[in-house]
Amino acid sequence: MNAKRFLLEAAALIAAAVLCALVSNTLAARERKLALVGYYPSAQKAPVQTAPPVVQPVAAAVPAAGTAASPPPPTATETVAVRPAKTPAATVTAPAPAPAPPKKPDLARFAVHPDKPYVEIAYNDVKALHDASVLFLDARRTSIYEQGHIAGARPFSVWESDIDDKVRKLYDERPDEKQQGQAIVVYCSGGECEDSHMLAQKLWGIQFNNVYVYKDGYPDWVAHKGDTHTGSNP
């Protein structure tokens, strides 16, 4: 066979494929669309394979009555160290023997950590942040999100083309430094899922300095019977 003709045919097949790909991506629905150039900082780093995490029994998640006054700092996993939480002076000097007011989650331990993109936390900390109405972001695909998500969480799939718009919109919602230091919890499917870490990196990249990754993710939340919601609304 003529080599020139062969090369022309091969080039035509590839060119047609590129054209079809671009057209189909342009016409695709939002959830099926991809940004042509992706941003995946650790795309060439092979992950360290670890044993699957053991889900804590529900009983262990409830703190004992005596420990409620001094909550532990967020539980870090082996991959990201947690900066020791600074206890505000006011809480040290306030014995307050008055009748117990309704319990308000103590968020002082979830301090900003501008030196690292995220801190991995486990169920107890996630529950405390959820009770404090902290912003939750679901990094899984929107179609999965709609099947069930942590109540109040917003869909922020890192694999969909509108992720940068959503991150930018979030930045517009929290324009000043103080607001950017408010805690945000991101999660995906737990286990080997890294979507939440990728989303946390993105958020850190635009100055959100207080992002927590719920390492065991949605399956763990369901196992602990946390509040969930289905459908496209948070």
Interaction mask 152-171, another protein, x per CB under 8 A: -----x-xxx----------
- Distance, in Å, from the CA atom of 33 to the CA atom of 103, rounded to the nearest integer, reads 45
Query: Cα–chain-centroid distance for residue 68?
Result: 27
Q: Does 81 bind another protein (CB under 8 A)?
A: no
Would you say 124 or 157 has its CB closer to another protein?
A: 157
Closest CA to 75 of 110, 51, 107: 110
Would you say 14 or 132 has its CB closer to another protein?
A: 14
Please give the C-alpha separations between residue 41 and each of 29, 38, 111, 200, in angstroms, as whole numbers.
Answer: 26, 9, 25, 12
Q: Does 24 bind another protein (CB under 8 A)?
A: yes
Asked if residue 59 lies in contact with residue 124, where contact means CB atoms within 8 angstroms, the answer is no
Q: Least CB distance from residue 187 to another protein, whole Å?
A: 16
Would you say 32 or 174 has its CB closer to another protein?
A: 32
Q: Least CB distance from residue 49 to another protein, whole Å?
A: 6
Would you say 3 or 96 has its CB closer to another protein?
A: 3
Closest CA to 75 of 226, 222, 188, 213: 213
Task: For residue 185, give the DSSP letter.
Answer: E
Q: Does 37 bind another protein (CB under 8 A)?
A: yes
Q: Does 28 bind another protein (CB under 8 A)?
A: yes
Would you say 20 or 62 has its CB closer to another protein?
A: 20
Match 């922020």 to its residue by tokens.
Answer: 156
Please give the C-alpha separations between residue 87 and each of 91, 93, 179, 218, in angstroms, as whole numbers.
Answer: 7, 11, 20, 30
Q: Does 222 bind another protein (CB under 8 A)?
A: no
Under the rule (CB under 8 A), what is the footprint of another protein? 1, 6, 9-10, 12-14, 16-18, 20-22, 24-25, 28, 31-47, 49, 141, 157, 159-161, 191, 195
